[in-house]
Amino acid sequence: MKHVQVGIISDKSFDYKQLIKVLTKNNTMHTIYNALEGPLEISFTEFSDELKHSYNLLLYIIGGSKDIVKDVDNSTLSKLNSCAQKAIVVVNNHHEQSELSSLETQLQPVFVTNVFLQTNEGIDSLLYLISEFTFGKPNIIYDPQNILRKFNKYLEIITPKRVVEFHPATNTKVCTKASASFRVPANDNYEWKEFDNSNGYEFGETRYDWFAFSGDIEIPSSYDPTKHNLHAKFNINRNYLCRPWDDDFPAGPEGRIWLNGEALGAIDEFHNSQIIKQGGHVEVRIFTGRCTASHNLTQFGLEITDKNTDALYYRLKFMTALIKQLKDTNTDRAKLIHLVDAAVRELDVRDLNGPIGLLPVRRHDPHDMAFYSSVPKALEILRSIHNIRGRAEPDGPCISIIGYSHLDTCWEWPYSILHFKSANTASSMLHLIENPPDEFDNPVMWKFLATASQHYKWMSEDDPTLYSRVLSAIHDGRWVADGVTWLEHETNLMNGESMIRQFLYGKSYFEDIIGQKQTTLILPDCFGFSASLPQVMKNFGIDSFLTSKISWCEYNDFPYHTFNWRGNDGSEVLGHFVTTPSSWSYQTSTYTGTATIPELLGTYDCYKQKDICRHSAIHMAGNGDGGGGITEEMIWNFNLMNELPRLEGVPAVKFPTMSEIFDEIRRKKDSLPTWDDELYLEYHRGTLTSQEEVKRQNRKLESHLKNAEFILTVLKAVYNFTGEVDYQKSPKNLWEEVLLYQFHDALPGTSVNEANMQILTRGTQTLQKVKEIENFLAEKLSEQEDSNLLISTVCPFYGWKSCDKVQRDEFKTTFYERNKDESHTTYEFSFDDVDTTVKSKFEFDFQTKTVKNDKMTVVFNEKGGIKSLKVGTRQFIEENDDCPFHFYEDRSINWPAWDIQLYHKEMELESPVFTSISAINDDQLEVTWEIPEIGEAKAEKSVIKQIISINDTTIDMKTTVNWSQHDKLLKYVLPTKIRSRTAKFGLQFGYLERETHSNTKRDMARFESCGRWADLSDSHGGITMTSDVKAGFDIHGITMMMSLLKAPMQTDKWADFGIRRFIIRLDFHNQEFSPKSQILADQLNYPPTFCDIGKSQPVEKEFLKIEENKLILTCLKVSEDGKGFIARFVEPSGGFTTANVEFPLLEGDWKFDLVNMEEKNEIPLEYNKEKKSITLEAEMFQVLTVKFSKI
């Protein structure tokens, strides 16, 4: 870097120090470039004879009166000439050019006026003149239009020269029948076959195969550690024999590489080599992929790269990208262009040929000595960027970078493959953390974030050595274990207790097992966020939430990136969105950033709250979805960004933890906007409906776990039961399995067929274990009462009573497994629960298709729909002759398994054809329809059959569909006479009101919404619609619709094909909305337990009574510490209440405390021993967790 010493000569009447102050503060003061000489630093001192020889230039400043010019004598001029051959004279405005003639004659200086200096452009020009007069003019760029193409051409030419030598591994062997394992292949008793590695290796046709390779790499004598880097290279040329996407997504080839028995890292789509320091024995284990392929191993051995050329490549690529990203009007862009141009002019590429082959006979410099000799000079110029002093902006723009690799627990692969993806990714990240590039004196200490307790637990079991290394990295501050929950779960379809357990068991594992305090809920890729989530977060002491998915909005740009998020109960947490622009749309953000210049600069440019939080825009760097994580190039870019001066339009970077990122946001909380609603995703609405069987299984598991925990609590609290439930079957441990099935691509139904089969297979086994526990405990309770018992865990009866027999809800469904040869295997799932559908005798008139009971009259039309329904004298149904099922083409633009497009309403098909209605007994009707066939109709006919029962004002419709459609959508439609601008939709805790109109684009966008139930009411009555397995509602105007079946070919080609079965429940109420809606949904979803021990001793007992259903019990369980019990309640109506809660069966002295969901922070409650009751106060939708224990 050139340093210019500028001497100052001034008369006393001119405040030259003020001028220098302005010059020094100017943005371009320290960033004037000369293309040949590099960056320029300028300092100013007063002129003195003693220092005259150190001056490169003199500023002669004339001020005051006009006479000062006349006083310039020959002595002064002589001093100027002897100290510097060049001069710039700054004059006051009132001096005329003629008065300065003597100076001009003697020195031929440039005159600059004060007026000229009063603009920023003038200051810049003066500085440029100083540079030009000192060193001469910079190189001329003759073709600015193609300057970036020129830089990229140099990149193309030099890239092949990074590698100076490649030495194939020797003594190479392959095992074509390897197995899935986390061990070094040498530890397995494999049959190995030698192969000639000089020509690589052809895998042949593979599908779902495991290969193992071994060989030796020896470091040659030509290796110079001061000049070279070493990599163990294993490069596979991927060749798929089918479309490698959706149900044929390969998830391979992927594996791991070891050197001398120590894991180096992954071999995957993003890593084909690993940094090494020594040679030795190399082993590789590779999964070829899920689909048919014929891969080729093209390189297996030692790669030696030139350090300087590597550094030149990364720097030149980075700077070229930076220049391209900056606007033409950016004042710093030209300076960067001159710097890079100066560097590439130093490169001697006369004998380089780039991608075009050059015969040896035409080579002048076969060892490229001229090129390699020129690299250090070019590299020195590029490195000088960090010597430039940028703008003085102590609170300038800044982004936070954190390494991350999104690992879908299942998606286009089953759980079994994720085990390996997680371990392979961790191995690569640790290796990169331990081997930073040695180009930088102080390389950045980037951190890697990994969420999901489940993944850590698997790793601890699969690969204890790797897990130990991860724990060490956590201890060293380079690995961040944060995210709170068991895994990155969905938030809409699970029930409230599942949401709590995700936090309870996830946070416990992170903090108690790993030892990392949890700070932030991290759910980058979920399909919308329930308004119940903030309350749960606050209960666990978590006030920070991070996602990126809500930027994926179809119609509306979400207004904020950092905000206070208020849930339906009023709880507030901090919401923060990742703002790295996605490669497919600048308007959407990605959690799989790759640390490119467009992404890094775009992260700050896109950030909407930069006026409030200057340093909080976040870039999550790392390949993801299927893992992979950080690469060497990303780490180079981290460091290159870090060494940049403060340039216009370029944010600084920092590498904090999640907690540190939210520290600034927390300080600015009061200045942030507030979003008081759910975080609705304007995409992926079809996930409320896809894969019915997966969703049914989740609800069954939630239901039976609730029952088992309830009964166990009763046995221990009332009857002092001390029997041990088998460890593998205990409800607490089985919860982890249930939480696993709630991953955000599992429960929503967006995984491949293989993954869905694994979910259902494992889930069936889990459900069987839970039911065994439930039945075992129910039998113990029945023995205590010496009677057959029907045990209810839902409002309004929390207890048990004698019962001779119950009606069973027995049915079967099917699932089609896709085989490797494209055939299929049909699996049948059988269900047998207590039937909770309501039934009472009614009168049926076949001629008029009219059903009557003592409360309600229902008339069916000629297409099987409800034409009229009266409760008392009130008509609830808009008279119609429509079929109750609407049938649509379902042709989503991008993601059929995920989406329902609004335009499906424009693509309605012929409705199912009504075929019959009949009374099968005095309390049930059977109604059938057929979906019209097309063409030659070789596919199986789709038939809909409903068994309809009526009780009081409730209708239950057990619906069975032989579903053989594809790319279709089936909905149930109910035209009502209810007029309301909003409808209520059940959440995990309480409900949310959504508009029934489309006044705004945001209203229109919520054309399909989630609900555990839905209610459309006016001030005097309304209709509640719910189901045992369906959750997608479309309630607009006076029409209520429920989505029943989709048939996407992506990602599971057999999605929902076969026998489907669900219940639609309608309740017509002649009073204003009440908690009855939630109670009806709970009764449908949580059937009671029945135990038949062959005795009918009369008994009816309630463990718990709640005053007027002011609260609803959501959970009764043994406390986590085993020293008491937990009763959890929710206020269901949306307002403050005081409720008396009795525990009639408790005997003796008991202690009651209000605790948080984590079962901590005890607040004593007053227990009325005589009445065996406590009094609870609850705010709107508040969840109250009560711990009680015997004293």
Quick one: pLDDT at residue 722?
87
A 10 A CB-CB count for 1166 gives 8
pLDDT digits (tens, 9 = 90+) for 1068-1109: 999 888 888 889 999 999 999 999 999 989 999 999 999 999
pLDDT digits (tens, 9 = 90+) for 979-989: 999 999 999 99
Helix pair angle (753-785, 731-740), 10° resolution: 160
How does the average pLDDT of the chain come out, rounded?
91
The mean pLDDT of 253-280, rounded to a whole number, is 98
Quick one: pLDDT at residue 979?
97
> Is 60 exceeded by the pLDDT of residue 48?
no
CATH number belonging to the domain at 1107-1190, selected among 2.60.40, 2.30.110, 1.10.10, 2.30.30: 2.60.40
Residues comprising the chain, all counted: 1191
Lowest mean pLDDT among 51-60, 240-249, 1093-1102: 51-60
Quick one: pLDDT at residue 332?
87
Structural domain boundaries of the chain? 147-157+309-352+368-387, 397-420+448-610+656-683, 837-1085, 1107-1190
Task: Tell me the pLDDT band of 840, cut-offs 50, 70 and 90.
Answer: confident
Quick one: pLDDT at residue 34?
36
Q: Which residue has the higher pLDDT, 44 or 905?
A: 905
DSSP string covering 580-606, please?
PBPSS-TTSB-SSB---HHHHHHHHHT
* Contact (CB, 8 A) for 172 and 197: yes
Give 376's contacts (C-beta < 8 A, 6+ positions apart): 308
Quick one: pLDDT at residue 65?
45
Q: Which residue has the higher pLDDT, 103 or 122?
A: 122
Quick one: pLDDT at residue 141?
80
302, amino acid identity: L
> Is 90 exceeded by the pLDDT of residue 27?
no
Tokens of 889: 């083409």
What is the CATH topology of the domain spanning 837-1085? Answer: Beta-galactosidase; Chain A, domain 5 (2.70.98)
* Contact (CB, 8 A) for 289 and 207: yes
DSSP string covering 637-667, please?
HHHHHHH----TT--EEE---HHHHHHHHHH
How far apart CA 1174 and CA 1184 sit, in angstroms, is: 13
Lowest mean pLDDT among 45-59, 317-331, 457-471: 45-59
pLDDT digits (tens, 9 = 90+) for 1119-1178: 999 999 999 999 999 999 999 999 999 999 999 999 999 999 999 999 999 999 999 999
The mean pLDDT of 823-845, rounded to a whole number, is 93
pLDDT digits (tens, 9 = 90+) for 679-707: 999 999 999 999 999 999 999 999 999 99
Q: Which residue has the higher pLDDT, 237 or 128?
A: 237
Quick one: pLDDT at residue 862?
96
Superfamily of domain 397-420+448-610+656-683: Glycoside hydrolase 38, N terminal domain (3.20.110.10)
Q: Report H helices in 653-805.
A: 658-667, 692-719, 731-740, 753-785
86 secondary structure, DSSP code = -
625 dihedral zone (left: phi>0; alpha: psi -120 to 50; beta): left
> Is 80 exceeded by the pLDDT of residue 35?
no
How far apart CA 1167 and CA 382 sit, in angstroms, is: 75
Tokens of 492: 């809409």
Quick one: pLDDT at residue 228?
98
pLDDT digits (tens, 9 = 90+) for 787-796: 999 999 999 9
pLDDT digits (tens, 9 = 90+) for 714-743: 999 999 998 776 655 677 889 999 999 999
Task: Return the top range by mean pLDDT from 49-53, 211-215, 841-845.
Answer: 211-215
Cis preceding-peptide flag for 253 (omega within 30 of 0): yes
Q: Which residue has the higher pLDDT, 112 or 632?
A: 632
Task: Tell me the pLDDT band of 389, cut-offs 50, 70 and 90.
Answer: low
Task: Tell me the pLDDT band of 712, cut-offs 50, 70 and 90.
Answer: very high
Quick one: pLDDT at residue 1165?
98
* Contact (CB, 8 A) for 862 and 881: yes
How far apart CA 948 and CA 858 sit, in angstroms, is: 12
How far apart CA 598 and CA 46 sit, in angstroms, is: 46
